[in-house]
Chains A and B, each alone.
Chain A
């Protein structure tokens, strides 16, 4: 935490130092040091405590409400994508044929830009009478399932071959091999994936909000403020900081859950819990 604070101040110092030196020397490359292109850090923070528009809420309150809204969509996308990615990896570890047949499509899905997929999902979701937040969550899930599927698959394949032979000698059922050996072995891989997915889910939700025409999330705020960049760039900068914070908070929560889950002994408990759910 201390090192994080130190780095934050160093970064602020670099930003302000650049402005100072470039202004003195009259340099304009690579970036102009003026207050529109590179506003002072304190101006960004002060902006957070000004009304969004005349007579409106403070920017920080407005952004907090938007953050909550976007985070909800992102979290739902994170859950949907996580479950889908996990299910895919279990199918693939059970059947090499399925893995070889479908893995190219899984990889290809991620080379299609999300900006191309998002409007389609919104239109299809609309025809299916999905609420718009659900369409946004689906777009977010489209980004999150991939790291989970790839990493979990690798984790499920990580146990030593002799461990699988032991399970074979116990005449263990595939379900038991999965929950008692493969999934516990995969947990460190799964958490790495979930951290990637946590950030990706926020990006997915932000982009998903644009074609959905949502006025309530951070996505719309980013779009609006970037259009006003020439006039009041501080608003965009302030919103970018808040958006980044949302991602950081999400990843931090995942990391805390990871620490709790991977602590000595608790993986066992987790697994018995999941086994119970799988049987019941």
Chain B
């Protein structure tokens, strides 16, 4: 990796619709995300946090401004398979086993040694015992772990996660947060993580990007400065609570602006 940021946005804007249906989803986004960072995008619904993620991942085109990923256009980065994406829905193919689901991107990318790669990914997310199972035989949390294994299988430089734990119960959610931090530290992947949970954003991230709605914009950037590895003890530390309070107040300020 060079010194240039993985994601670089300058005055980035996105508008949906035309005429009276025109909605300005994002305005004047300036953002640099460095290699190896874990960045959360947080804000009220309608602040464009998912839209920003989708712009970075080349799922929708930008309307104005500049955006580069690994020094390339988002489209080129997508064609170079720089992105692993995890959505709120696991979106596993229910006619494929867990292993075959993880192999799907590898098949499309014509990669070698697919079954070995899939096996080691399943080992990484601790699902080796379920390799031959079908998605419907797994719990929601396990399905999401398969989706993460699938996203990391081809070693993308950037992992985009759009509220990946939003549909999970609180207990599973905390386990998954631990899991994703472990994977992040093992793989050195850069992560952009969309969430509407303040504790989740603080617990996971190196940096929290606070956004505000109408039009969607960045109102604050907060370094969490909590040491890794983060554990259950982190969740009970005073510094963690202070950061949560800081982000909450920042969100409230942004809302009033």
Interface of A is mostly: helix
Q: Known contacts A162-B87, A180-B108; is A169 also within 8 Å of B93 by CB?
A: no
For window 32-77 of chain B, which residues contact chain A by CB distance below 8 Å? Answer: 57-59
Kindly list chain A residues whose C-beta atoms are within 8 Å of the C-beta of B97: 265
Taking the closest CB of chain B, its distance from the CB of A92, in whole angstroms, is 23
Q: Known contacts A169-B57, A169-B78; is A268 also within 8 Å of B96 by CB?
A: yes
Taking the closest CB of chain B, its distance from the CB of A97, in whole angstroms, is 20
A181 to B95, CA, bound (A): 10
Which B residues form the contact surface with A (CB < 8 A)?
A: 57-59, 78-79, 81, 83-85, 87, 89, 91, 93, 95-97, 100, 104-105, 107-109, 134, 154
A169 & B89 in contact (Cβ 8 Å cutoff): no
Kindly list chain A residues whose C-beta atoms are within 8 Å of the C-beta of B81: 170-171
User: Which of B89, B95, B104 makes the CB contact (< 8 A) with A267?
Assistant: B95
User: Which of B87, B93, B100, B108 makes the CB contact (< 8 A) with A170?
Assistant: B108
Q: Known contacts A265-B97, A268-B100; is A169 also within 8 Å of B91 by CB?
A: no
Kindly list chain A residues whose C-beta atoms are within 8 Å of the C-beta of B107: 180
A160 contacts the other chain (CB 8 A): yes
Kindly list chain B residues whose C-beta atoms are within 8 Å of the C-beta of A265: 95, 97, 134
A162 & B91 in contact (Cβ 8 Å cutoff): yes
B89 & A170 in contact (Cβ 8 Å cutoff): no
A166 to B104, CA, bound (A): 10
A184 & B79 in contact (Cβ 8 Å cutoff): no
Contacts A163-B93, A171-B81, A268-B100 aside, 4 further interface pairs with beta carbons under 8 A come to: A169-B58, A169-B85, A170-B109, A172-B108
The 5 A-B pairs of least Cβ separation, nearest first, read A267-B95, A162-B91, A162-B87, A170-B108, A170-B105
What are 23 contact pairs spanning A and B, CB under 8 A? A162-B89, A163-B93, A166-B85, A168-B59, A168-B78, A169-B59, A169-B83, A169-B84, A170-B81, A170-B108, A170-B109, A171-B79, A171-B108, A171-B109, A172-B108, A180-B104, A180-B107, A180-B108, A181-B93, A184-B93, A264-B134, A265-B134, A267-B95
A165 contacts the other chain (CB 8 A): yes
A43 contacts the other chain (CB 8 A): no
Taking the closest CB of chain B, its distance from the CB of A168, in whole angstroms, is 7
B91 & A160 in contact (Cβ 8 Å cutoff): yes
A176 contacts the other chain (CB 8 A): yes
Size band of the interface chain A makes with B? 10 to 19
A172 to B105, CA, bound (A): 9
Kindly list chain B residues whose C-beta atoms are within 8 Å of the C-beta of A264: 95, 134
Taking the closest CB of chain B, its distance from the CB of A164, in whole angstroms, is 10
Total A-B pairs, Cβ < 8 A: 53
Kindly list chain A residues whose C-beta atoms are within 8 Å of the C-beta of B91: 160, 162-163, 166
A181 to B101, CA, bound (A): 11
Q: Known contacts A169-B83, A171-B79, A264-B134; is A176 also within 8 Å of B108 by CB?
A: yes
A160 & B89 in contact (Cβ 8 Å cutoff): yes
For window 166-222 of chain A, which residues contact chain B by CB distance below 8 Å? Answer: 166-172, 176, 180-181, 184
Kindly list chain B residues whose C-beta atoms are within 8 Å of the C-beta of A184: 93, 95
A170 to B79, CA, bound (A): 8
A128 to B25, CA, bound (A): 61
Kindly list chain B residues whose C-beta atoms are within 8 Å of the C-beta of A165: 59, 85, 87
Taking the closest CB of chain A, its distance from the CB of B156, in whole angstroms, is 9
A162 to B86, CA, bound (A): 10
A268 & B89 in contact (Cβ 8 Å cutoff): no
For window 58-86 of chain A, which residues contact chain B by CB distance below 8 Å? Answer: none
Kindly list chain B residues whose C-beta atoms are within 8 Å of the C-beta of A166: 85, 87, 91
Kindly list chain B residues whose C-beta atoms are within 8 Å of the C-beta of A163: 91, 93
Q: CB-nearest residue of chain B relative to A262?
A: B95
A267 to B94, CA, bound (A): 10
B95 & A268 in contact (Cβ 8 Å cutoff): yes
For B87, B100, B109, which residue has the most chain A Cβ atoms within 10 angstroms? Answer: B87
Kindly list chain B residues whose C-beta atoms are within 8 Å of the C-beta of A169: 57-59, 78, 83-85
Q: CB-nearest residue of chain A relative to B90?
A: A162
For B58, B89, B93, B95, which residue has the most chain A Cβ atoms within 10 angstroms? Answer: B95
Kindly list chain A residues whose C-beta atoms are within 8 Å of the C-beta of B57: 169
Contact mask A268-280 → B, CB, 8 Å, 1/0? 1000000000000
Taking the closest CB of chain B, its distance from the CB of A89, in whole angstroms, is 19
Q: CB-nearest residue of chain B relative to A181?
A: B93
A143 to B233, CA, bound (A): 69
Kindly list chain A residues whose C-beta atoms are within 8 Å of the C-beta of B89: 160, 162
